[in-house]
Structure formats: structure tokens, C-alpha cells
A and B are shown apart, each in its own frame.
Chain A
Amino acid sequence: MHWMTRQTAMAEQGYIASDDLAMAVHLALSLGRPLLLEGAAGVGKTEIARVLAAICDTQLIRLQCYEGLDAAQAIYEWNYQRQLLTIRAAAEDGETGRSVEQRIFSEDFLLERPLLKSIRQSKSPVLLIDEIDRADEEFEAYLLEILSEFQITVPELGTIKAITRPIVILTANGTRDLSDALRRRCLYAHVGYPERDTELAILKARCPGVEAALADQIIGFVQSLRQEDLEKKPGIAEMLDFSAALMGLGIADLTQDPKLLQASLATLLKTEADRFNITAEVCQRLAGQAA
């Protein structure tokens, strides 16, 4: 399959991917290797996994990483409460310890968590490991084994091998540096804020109702806003919220009502310092440039 076919397929699902990104996705699928996507928040990294699942018509399994995430929550866990109740019930029936032990460490008592679940699907799912840089380093190391072998060892049950290899997408936005070992096991793509034309296409794909003139202005406004000295730059999701807000307020031209425009900045600027920095005058200047 050609990489441009993938790009078109993604576009049909409403995801406008840059050429670099489409190539990375194409190779990840063709070579069956994990894909590491890095970039600022709100540029659509997580969205890629959703779109891929839709294109391949398969399940999306998501693992949201956070500080303190451990193997039990990501891979598998024994259903401790159920095991305890079973032991209690068995004791009343006079069952021997040996057979109870075998019973409580069987599949029935195993709770699948995302990683185990993803290697036991009959059709390759898309496994999204979101914000891997939030997880601890030890977890990252654990992940290495799974990503290269696609097998998980449960001491009581033995090794569970993957039935199908999941399509793995990892995302990171630079909370901490990832290990070289992890980077080397993945293909890499850096996802930046989109170019003007790409972002315009995204807006048109997502909000077909927005008029061409206003769409132009919105993109111009958001792109120049990103050039300002902001703590948290608005991403694509924020841009779409902004457009929805403008349409909801019935604004057809950004320069039309300064007060309403200033109010709708709530969708774009998410910290107090940024709200303070983008004063009404700055806002008007940017709107004027965009118009």
C-alpha cells in the first residue's frame, strides 16, 4: 500500500496528517513497529490512534499513563476479593488446599488490564499508550519487554504469547526525557502545530458549517496567537472550540464585536497569565491582522 493512500484514508476519517506524519504511520503499519509521537499538547497525537482504529476497523485499547502507574494496573491483576471469597466458600465445603489453589490462580480470576487485553485479541487492535512520559522509569522499562516480545509472563499461569500483534502508538509531550532504549524500539514522528493550510483543512473537515471568510480569519488569528509569548499555546482542539464558540455566538467577522471576541478567548487561553497578557488591544491587533 502506498503511504498516500493512508493519508487519504486518514483524511476520510477527518484527520489531516502532514506528509511526514502520514509516512510515519504508513511505516509503523507496514513494518509492524511501535510509533512514538511527540509534540506539544493539543496537536492531535491521541487522535491519530482513534483514526487508525477506525481505518483498520479494529478496537482501540487505551492505556493512560500517570505517575505511579504500575504493572498491576497496566498488565493484569488477580481478582483478590473473588479469590478470598472462593477460599472462604471452599473452606466451608471442606475442599482441600491444593485444588483451591489451582482454582483461584486460573483464568477466571485474572483481571485483564489494557496491555494483556491488547495481545489477546483475535484481530490486531490499536494499543494507545498515552503520555508515556508521565509514567515512572521502571514502568517504561517493563514496557520494553512487552513491546519487543509481545508476550507477558504471569508467574502462576506461564507465559501468554500474543495472538495478534497490536498496532502500538505511544504519545509523549516532554514531561520528562524518555530513555534511549524506548526511543530506539519505536519509529518516531514529531507532531507540531499544523501549517496554515493544514489547519484550515482540519477546521473545514471538523466544522463544515463555518463560512470560508471566517475560517480564514480564525486560522490567521490562532496562528498569530501562537506566535505571542504564551505559557500555554492553543492547540487544535482549542481552535475548534473557539470556532464553535464563535459560531454559537453568531459572529461572522472577528473584528465585528471586540467584547464578544475577548470573551470567547476563554476557549483559547487557559492560564491567568495568558489572559492577562492578551489584552483587548492585542486581541484587536491580531484580529485586525487576520481579517
Chain B
Amino acid sequence: MSRVSKFAGRDPGPAARMAGFMAHLRAHGLRVGVAETDIALRALTHVQAGDPDETRRALKTVCTGGAEDVERFDDLFDSYWLNGGRVRQKVMPAQVTPNLETVRSSRQAHSEQVASGAGQTTTPDDGTGEAEADGDGKLVASSLQNLMKKDLRDLVQPEEIAEAEAIARRLGAALRHRRSRRRKAARKGDQIHFRKLIRQSLATGGEPLSLPKKHRPDRPLKIVALCDVSGSMTLYAQVFLAFLAGLMRADDACDAYLFHTRLVRIADALRDRDALRALGRMSVLADGFGGGSKIGASLQQFSRSYARRFVDGRSVVLILSDGYDTDAPELLGTALAKLKKRGCKIIWLNPLKGWAGYQPIAQGMAAALPHLDLFRAANRLADLAALEPELTRL
């Protein structure tokens, strides 16, 4: 039996199928638009479109835009074009659906997103714990995992995000705008460096042959937030997630991650213009929410991978965690030490610290303390707002 999907008889033809494929990719988070559909159709005229492998390769180069897209593309391709010979319904939508991009209200977007964004690529879960799929099963969830899945939108209210956004903006501003009053000589400056110009023109008989420039150096700090979403943190997740969402929307330069037993980068998902939809996308990523926590291993993974690209001397790493780690505390210590070597500042926000008589006796926390630039409590948004003067001093 051919594995190629059959299409319904009323399906208007290849162009519509391609549009359907693009919609399929969009629904799974790939950023493709009308222009890509056009290029994809043109690309297929340059290859043998009858050959699935060639088509796959051609569409891959057109539709992907990053390493993560490339990784997911094969499964998405299979689920649309090679769907075990099953008949796919007519691809073109009968009427024009409202454009999601322009929908500003989160509530309207909500139901659509659940329908398209959070679903599985191939078959829906049949509840037996093991689903059948064409690919290697990467995108097929079992009901076991479903128990761990939580829709983060249930935790966070839109008003809180707005409040958190305002706080994040203030914190970001406290960190970022530390411009020097002094001007420095620079190749690309906005003013002419007169002292240097006169000095240099001495050599050419008073003729200013080169025009040295100077500028006012901008020294922004960027925030990298790592949020613990393990079981013990579920209570506070609401505050922190709102804060992360606000932070990402307020500041383009910052970066965010979630960790429980593994580390997930959520920066791209959180940058969605619709705050609640962003949380919806994140729920898909944060599979395993509320489980155990491996802080040490996650931080180690962070300092080995993302930190190398995104963390430098002008970064502030913000860790939101209660410090209860199932790993050995040494691991946490060495991970932080390694991170510190990149020249960044490390701030640890611990919700437990807000309790009266709290002592950082959790072994992980104790191991982390020597490496921290700031260790503060944070259980409410107000606590986060109170950080502003501290951050200015960093």
C-alpha cells in the first residue's frame, strides 16, 4: 500500500494542497507565510515532484528557518503527505477564517489555538498509553505524559501579565540604561573627535585628512531568566510565568528558559504578541511541568549549550527556584561556577526566602550561595518590583 496521503475528490489541486501543507506547518509553529507557499510551488518545478524524498528536501530548504525547524520538519512532512494512505479531507477552507495575527483578544484566539497549536502531529492519543505513528514516534504523546501536562494558561490571568510586564519593563530599564556620560573614540561615532582630528592633521600640514569620530558608549545588560517549574514550585509558578511573559514582551534582548528535569528554551514561544497564546505555546514545550527537579543538571546543560552563545559579561542570569534539587549539590556548585566564568551576574530569587526564619539549608541552595551576586525572596509580583534598586546597584 502506498504511504502517500490520498486527497478528497473535491480538493481543488496541487496549489491548494500546498497551501494546506503550509497551514499544517504554521499550526505546528513554523513561521511560513504566503511568500513561502509561492516559493515552494516554484521550487517543486525544479525538482522531480513525484519523488517524495526530493520533494521533502526541496520543501525543507524553503520552509525551515532554523535548526529546530529542520529537526521537526521530517515528521511534519510525513504526517501531511505520507499519512499511511488515509484520505485527507478537502484542503482549502470553505470560508475565510479570521486572521489570527490580527486577533488581539486572547480569549478568541484561545479555542483556535487549542484546536490547532497544541494537538499532535499525526494521530490523536487513543488513551492506551502507546500510539501508532509513521515516524519514529517523537511527536506522539502517551497518556502517561498527559498527566504531567498542564495548560499554563489556567495558571496565569491576563491582568497579572500586564502588571508583570510593567514590572519587567522597570527592571529591564534599571539594568539597561546605564549609558556612560564620557565619550570614547570610535570608528562609528556620531560626533567628530576634535582633539584627535587636530592632533592628526598636524602631520598633514593642518589639512584634516581623516575624520576621527567619537560616541557615547551604550552598555546594556540583558536578562537571562531560568525558571524552575518542578513540583515544589507549582505554587509560585503563576507569579514567575507571568513575570517571564512580561519580561519577554517588555525587552527584546532578554532570554528565558524553563527547567524541571530538563531544560527548555521558551524565549521564542513567549514572544508571541498575544500573551495567553504565548503561554499556550509554552505549555506544549513545558511537557513535564510539576515533576521532579534537576537544578544542577539543568544549569550544567545551560552553561554548556545556550550560555556559550547568549551569556557574556553583559548578562544578568536570573534563576527562579526554591533550590530543592534531586541531584548532588556539588553539581549545582560547579555549574554555577562555570557560568560565573562567563563574566555574568547571577541573581537567585527564592520564594521560600520570604518565609520568616528561612535558612538556606537545602544542600543545593547552600552550594549555590557562594556564586551568587544577589539572593532575594520573591513570592509575589511586589517582591519582584522591589528588586529594582538592587539591580541598579549591580
Which residues of A pack against B, CB within 8 Å?
3, 19-20, 23-24, 26-28, 30-31, 33, 38-39, 68, 70, 80-81, 84, 88, 174-176, 180, 183-184, 187-190, 229, 231
Q: Per DSSP, are chain A's interface residues mostly helix, strand or loop, or mixed?
A: helix
Chain B residues with CB under 8 A of A84: 207-209
User: Is B93 among interface residues, defined by CB-CB distance under 8 A?
Assistant: no
Tell me if A38 and B43 are in contact (CB < 8 A).
no
Chain B residues with CB under 8 A of A189: 61
Given the known interface contacts A27-B43, A30-B46, A84-B207, the answer about A20 and B57 at a Cβ–Cβ threshold of 8 Å is yes
Tell me if B58 and A68 are in contact (CB < 8 A).
no
Tell me if B65 and A188 are in contact (CB < 8 A).
yes
Closest CB pairs A-B (n = 9): A23-B57, A183-B65, A24-B61, A30-B46, A190-B70, A187-B61, A190-B67, A188-B64, A70-B188
How far apart are B208's CB and chain A's nearest CB, in angstroms? 8
Tell me if B61 and A20 are in contact (CB < 8 A).
yes
**Which interface residue of A30, A88, A229 has the most chain B CB atoms within 10 A?**
A30
Chain A residues with CB under 8 A of B67: 38-39, 190
Q: When chains A and B are docked, how far (Å) is the Cα of A33 from the Cα of B46?
A: 13
Could you show 24 A-B contacts with beta carbons less than 8 Å apart? Answer: A3-B57, A19-B53, A26-B46, A27-B43, A27-B46, A27-B62, A28-B61, A31-B42, A33-B39, A39-B67, A80-B210, A80-B211, A81-B209, A81-B210, A84-B208, A174-B309, A175-B309, A180-B31, A180-B65, A184-B33, A184-B36, A187-B61, A188-B64, A188-B70
Total A-B pairs in contact (CB under 8 Å)?
Answer: 78
Q: When chains A and B are docked, how far (Å) is the Cα of A20 from the Cα of B73?
A: 12
User: Is B35 among interface residues, defined by CB-CB distance under 8 A?
Assistant: yes
Chain B residues with CB under 8 A of A88: 207
Tell me if A23 and B54 are in contact (CB < 8 A).
yes
Tell me if B43 and A31 are in contact (CB < 8 A).
yes
Tell me if A27 and B61 are in contact (CB < 8 A).
yes
Chain B residues with CB under 8 A of A38: 66-67
Chain A residues with CB under 8 A of B46: 3, 26-27, 30-31
User: Is B187 among interface residues, defined by CB-CB distance under 8 A?
Assistant: yes
Tell me if A27 and B58 are in contact (CB < 8 A).
yes
How far apart are B54's CB and chain A's nearest CB, in angstroms? 7
Give the nearest-CB partner of A180 in chain B.
Answer: B31
Tell me if A31 and B39 are in contact (CB < 8 A).
yes
Q: When chains A and B are docked, how far (Å) is the Cα of A148 from the Cα of B253?
A: 26
